[in-house]
Structure 1
Amino acid sequence: MSCQHPNCFYPIHSTCTNHCHWSLCEEHINEHRKSLLTEFEELLQDLINPTDELSKLMETRKQIFTVEQHKQLDYLKQTHEKQINIIELPLITINKFQEQHNKISKHLVQIKTNEISLKQNDFQQIDTLSKEINQYKNSLKAKENQILTMKLLAIFVLHKEGDKKVKILQEEFNLESFGYFERRGVQPLLVFSARTVTERTALGTRQSVEADQNVNALVHVYVRPDGLASVIIADSEYPQRVAHTLLSKVMDDFTNAYPPSSWANMNEQTGKMASLSEVLRKYQNPQEADPLMRLQKDLDDTKDILKSTLVNVLERGEKIDDLVARSSDLSFEAKAFYKTARKTNRCCTLF
């Protein structure tokens, strides 16, 4: 038999058993082997570029991770120093009280040994020191009570389609500060306020809306450019920056749980993100949000957060009473509760 190479009639020398199984003459089998080797080298060379790219990519990620880790360590250090300062400042004042106490104690020893006489001024010093200590003690308690009395009343995740259509995908409430019967009226009003403010907030906008001049409550809202929105309703003492940090966290968590492609097809109240109730519980104390503040780089300056009132948020010609009357979020009982609370300026009403 002759060589299988085209136009070759030389006798077969050997067969390419590992590749094409052609039977070739000596010249063409050597040529074939060289060709295969060249092809293999070229393929191997082609692997160098993507391998180098992967290597560079991982090196870049490593650098980013290292930089981010240093930032986190710096932040933890700063937070630690801040917390230490918070503790040390009162200790400095307390040490001054102790120094004054020690000074008076030494004075007492001198009086007992008849080195000096007991005078009216000595009693005045003790009285003054006692008042200063009690005043400082009360001021520390007042600061603690201020934190403890801050309240997050509700958190909502919503989706805004078009100019106004808004769906509430998930909600959580903390109504422990209200009486049992009040809760049945308050909760629908919170839902109504969340939907109303979100409908009137443009895409890509943050704002904090005062519910009413007679009410100690703020509606914090952030509508992302992709239409996902979150609302936090809290009392006015709750730090605005913390509230808006939580808004971003809630939406990031929701996006991880439900991809954007699913939002338009979700029905009302179908979100089941377990972390929402944990956020509402954990961040009743705003100090718990300190680690989150570093992550929200877009909130370094709160001047970008619009501040408004509910009346200003409403469109021209709209009245809150008319919106309440037409709202499907409010039952007959809730509307009656609203009217009664409105007339009496009850603290539990939001409008």
Structure 2
Amino acid sequence: MPILYSCVAREKNILVDHTSSNEGSFSQVASSALHNISTSSDYKTIYEADQYLFFVYVKSGVTYLCAAEKDYSRTKAYDHLLDIIEKTESYTDKTDSQDSEFTQQQREEITKIMTNSSGKPVNTKLTKLQDDVDELQGIMIHNVEQILKRGDKLDDLMEKSDLLELQAQTFAKTTKKVHKKYWYKNARYKVLLGVIIGIVVVTVLVIIIVVAT
């Protein structure tokens, strides 16, 4: 099966793309995937959508992406992207990082490269192993970057957790103090009541004795 879709993108913007099949909305899926792709370092990774695989190669801040069916050779897919990179790096270098489009001539030339490029037929076990390592590295880099982005949120959560723990400790101490205060107060009331009852009983006994005598 051939490569079904290819594109070159900078940040979240697709600079140029080419579709050789009407089977799926590859451009929409690619646009969505670009929001989750970091371009701060060079790496490879793979996204899965429906019955297709989207192969990603990030190099020098530019994202090169192609789509193929799941049984397509990973080696050939990345060779396809490497072929595009080698033949278009001069264009991407000349394109200002603030620009969102190539010139029309550049677009036509890159589209022609995408159409004719099929990747070099390299399919050795060593290359396959290297692809797997590069893919894993790309996934790890992406995950670490996501964790770093969540770092501030985690710090805030830890601070809130520490504050709640401190408030809980303060509440416990206050509860103990209140409990002791009311315990002593209740004890005094009980002693006072006992004294009063004792006085009443003694008074009654004295009256009974006096009356009896």
- Residue 76 of structure 2: aligned partner: 242
Distance change in 2, residues 1:269/1:193 (3 Å): farther
- Residue 185 of structure 2: aligned partner: none
* Counterpart contact for 1:254–1:273, Cα < 8 Å: no
State the TM-score, normalizing by the size of structure 2: 0.52
Which string of whole-angstrom CA distances, capped at 9 and with x for unpartnered residues, describes residues 226-247 of structure 1?
2111110111121112211222
Give the % identical residues.
Answer: 16
- Residue 45 of structure 2: aligned partner: 207
2:25 matches 1:171: no
Which string of whole-angstrom CA distances, capped at 9 and with x for unpartnered residues, describes residues 286-336 of structure 1?
xx6137x89xx998711221498xxx9xx9xxxxxxxxxxxxxxxxxxxxx
Question: After the TM superposition, which segments of 4 or more aligned residues of structure 1 sit over 4 Å from their partners?
Answer: 268-271, 297-300
Letter in 2 for 1:243: A
Equivalent residue runs for 1:32-181 within 5 Å: 150-160=1-11, 166-175=12-21, 178=22
2:32 matches 1:196: yes
Larger CA Rg, structure 1 vs 2: 2
Please, what is the CA RMSD of the aligned residues?
Answer: 3.5
2:135 matches 1:305: yes
User: Which structure carries more relative contact order (alpha carbon 8 Å, separation 6+)?
Assistant: 2
Question: Displacement, 1:255?
Answer: 1.6
- The 2-side partners of 1:273 and 1:252 are apart by 16
- The 2-side partners of 1:298 and 1:198 are apart by 26
List runs of 5+ in structure 1 lacking aligned partners.
Answer: 1-149, 161-165, 316-351
- The 2-side partners of 1:192 and 1:223 are apart by 19
Distance change in 2, residues 1:158/1:302 (3 Å): same
Distance change in 2, residues 1:171/1:253 (3 Å): same
Q: Match for 2:120 among 277, 289, 309? A: 289
Letter in 2 for 1:157: V
* Counterpart contact for 2:95–2:102, Cα < 8 Å: no
- The 2-side partners of 1:299 and 1:263 are apart by 33
- The 1-side partners of 2:83 and 2:34 are apart by 18
Question: Displacement, 1:263?
Answer: 4.0
Distance change in 2, residues 1:275/1:298 (3 Å): farther
- Residue 53 of structure 2: aligned partner: 218
List runs of 5+ in structure 2 lacking aligned partners.
Answer: 147-213
- The 2-side partners of 1:272 and 1:264 are apart by 17
